[in-house]
Structure 1
Amino acid sequence: MGMNMGSGIGRRGGSRGRAPMAEINVTPFVDVMLVLLIIFMVTAPLLVTGVPVDLPESRANALEQEQEPVQISIDTEGRVFVDDEELSRGALESRLRDIAAEQDPEDPRQIMLRGDKTLDYGLIMGVMGELNRAGLSRVSLVTTGSSETP
């Protein structure tokens, strides 16, 4: 029972050939991950859904809320949307009454009203009148960040 100890060259040397490399090259993996990161960074802002509304600017601070508010949007053409669902004037009135009937009297639901800044003031006031008639009194007008006073 003899053991061949070789001439001290070891497994990697000599005439036996090359041993398999036990290291993983992570450079291609990092390259692919960086490309994916760039793709996600570019496409993420484009994934925002909703009604396109050009909001006016304001210096007011954001409000704190416990429950999800109802989003009411009025686009540039005067179409009214409740949570991204387009409604006619008659359907708006019944939908607002349904929302008012579902809410807790001690903790009324917050209504976020988004109106395009190019809209007629009377159109926004008409929707606010419908909200008031339905009994929804916690209405907030949504604006973009802050701006200087004219």
Structure 2
Amino acid sequence: MDEEPISALNVIPFVDIMLVLFTVVLTTANFIATGRIPVSLPQTTHAETGQQKNKTIDLTLGGAIYFDGEQVTKDTLAEKAGGLPPETSFLIRADRAIQFQQFVDVTDVLKQLKFTKVAVQTRNAAK
């Protein structure tokens, strides 16, 4: 058997494999970079506007809590919300600079009272 020496090397399959690996790396790198939860949540570009009547809870920078425009404490909020039916929806309007613990305390009160319809109001970001 007389075999001829290899005079040329076909690199097309090698290039195909490298392009697939390159695509996998770029896709993974892009997912890692954009897969994080954004920290600045008070702004949104596409806010859903609903016309339903919500009970509003306002959280101010000074630590005050307002339930439907009336200043309350956490305990008073629990008392006032406790008399409402469980299907009541709440809209939380929190200042973007408040301590996160204040927000968690209010949502914890609503969770203890078994309310499930809770939304957080945001504003549209300037384009």
TM bucket (normalised to shorter chain) is 0.5 to 0.7
Aligned residue for 2:104, secondary structure, equals helix
| Matched letter for residue 92 of structure 1 | L
Q: Specify the SS of the correspondent of 1:128.
A: helix
Shift of 1:63: 4.1
Pick closer, same or farther for the CA change 1:79–1:129 going to 2, 3 Å: same
Larger Rg: 1
> Aligned-pair distance for 1:147?
5.3
The residue identity in structure 1 corresponding to 2:45 is R
Offset of residue 140 of structure 1: 0.4
The TM-score with structure 1 as length reference comes to: 0.52
**TM-score scaled to structure 2, two decimals?**
0.61
1:61 equivalenced with 2:61 (yes/no): no
Report if aligned partners of 2:43, 2:122 keep a CA contact under 8 Å in 1. Answer: yes
- Aligned AA for 2:43? E
Q: Which amino acid aligns with 2:114?
A: G
| Pairing of 1:112-123 with structure 2 (within 5 A) | 112-123=91-102
Structure 1 residues 65 and 146: CA distance shift in structure 2, 3 A: same
Look up the SS of the partner of 2:43 in the other structure.
coil
Identity of aligned pairs, percent? 17
Moved over 4 A (4+): none
* Structure 2 counterpart of 1:78: 63
- Partners of 1:146 and 1:128 lie apart in 2 by 25
User: Number of paired residues?
Assistant: 87
Ranges in structure 2 where 5+ consecutive residues have no aligned partner: 1-40
User: Is residue 100 of structure 2 the alignment partner of residue 129 of structure 1?
Assistant: no
CA contact 1:58–1:147 (8 Å) conserved in 2: no
**1:65 Cα offset (Å):** 4.3
